[in-house]
Amino acid sequence: MSTIALTKKAMRLLELCEAEGFETVEDLIQASMTDSVSPAICMECAHAAKMEPDQRAGYCEACHTNRMVSGLVLADFI
């Protein structure tokens, strides 16, 4: 994986925390672990939605791509 992709992942993860009202990535992970759905974000347009915790290619209703990734995946937690 290239450095650019990693940077974008980290950026989206931070955007997701902000969109969902979490102060830190750890807060987001902890909240996601106790729920059946996890905050997810679109790698294409940064649209946020709730998805399965292991989602890696979810459908984005905003830009109609399959680029929604859950916060747990973005954080390399699962």
Site for Zn ion, rule CB under 5 A? 42, 44-45, 47, 60, 62-63
Q: How far is the CB of 51 from Zn ion (least distance, A)?
A: 12
Instruction: Report the nearest approach of Zn ion to the CB of residue 21 (Å).
Output: 20
Among residues 30 and 40, whose Cβ is nearest to Zn ion?
A: 40
Nearer to Zn ion, 47 or 50 (CB): 47
Could you give the residue ranges of the DSSP H alpha helices within 1-78? 3-20, 25-33, 71-74
Q: How many CA atoms lie within 13 A of 73 on its CB side?
A: 19
